[in-house]
Amino acid sequence: MVELPLAAVDRVIRKSGAKRVSEGAASALVEVLEEHAIAIANEAAKLAEHAGRRTVRDVDIRLAAKRI
């Protein structure tokens, strides 16, 4: 279920200071980021529902990220 592009993740790793990035490293980070993003999105959806909304807002995402 890869939805994040490898090239974008490669750029993120390089911006952090890496000179070279293997494809395996980029794909491993993609997996970790997607798992974390799904957990945050699930928590944000719960927060929006608790607030009586059907729309997940930016504040829900930020709060969910702090809680996870």
Q: Give me the residue spans of the domains in the chain.
A: 23-67
**Interatomic CA distance for residues 17 and 19, integer angstroms:** 6
Per-residue pLDDT of the chain (68 residues; tens, 9 = 90+): 668 999 999 999 999 999 999 999 999 999 999 999 999 999 999 999 999 999 999 999 999 999 99
Query: What class does CATH assign to 23-67?
Result: mainly alpha
pLDDT of residue 3: 87
3-state DSSP assignment of residue 18? coil
- Pair of tokens at residue 33: 């980021």
pLDDT of residue 66: 97
| pTM across the whole model | 0.85
- Pair of tokens at residue 34: 């997607």
